[in-house]
Amino acid sequence: MVRLAVKLILLDPDDRVLLIHAKDPKSHAECWYPVGGGVEPGESLQLAAARETYEETGLVDLPAGTPVWRRDHRYEFNGQAFDVHEEWLLHRVEHFTPAPANLSPHEARTILGFRWWHAQDLLTTTETIFPPQLGQLLTRLSVEVRHEG
């Protein structure tokens, strides 16, 4: 079964994206990924985005997001495979220090921390980033936004 998920590009005024640092409990592999998660039945993308952002980072009053990408994806975590359809939203936010407000027990065991990343840093890092092409996508998105503005 494919699960609907919302993924958030939280961009601060310096065009840095917030990523979560996590460790797979089974493989012990570490990675960085955007805020987001599953959309609950009857929940809009915007409501799911606000809930996930609050739970994972403590941020309240998330501004409305703009749809920017979508993808179907299969990933493995903790020895299990998941099929998801991701809807990606861009949210402009003030810079803040994440303080998770309501992590699930699983998230509490796997999340190691947070970092604000510039797209250029994502292009050159040796760290594992999900999705792997996030730096290129952000670079392309910032060019598109400048052309619209």
pLDDT recorded at residue 27 = 93
How would you label 101-129 residue by residue, b for 16+ Cβ within 10 Å and e otherwise?
eeeeeeeeebbeebebbebeebeeeeeeb
Q: What is the full per-residue pLDDT of the chain (149 aa) written as tens digits?
A: 899 999 999 999 999 999 999 999 999 999 999 999 999 999 999 999 999 999 999 999 999 999 999 999 998 888 899 999 999 999 999 999 999 999 988 899 999 999 999 999 999 999 999 999 999 999 998 766 555 55
Q: What is the pTM of this model?
A: 0.94
The residue written with tokens 């020895």 in the block is 79
pLDDT recorded at residue 145 = 59
pLDDT recorded at residue 141 = 86
How would you label 6-36 residue by residue, b for 16+ Cβ within 10 Å and e otherwise?
bbbbbbeeebbbbbbebeeeeeeeebbbbbb
pLDDT recorded at residue 143 = 66
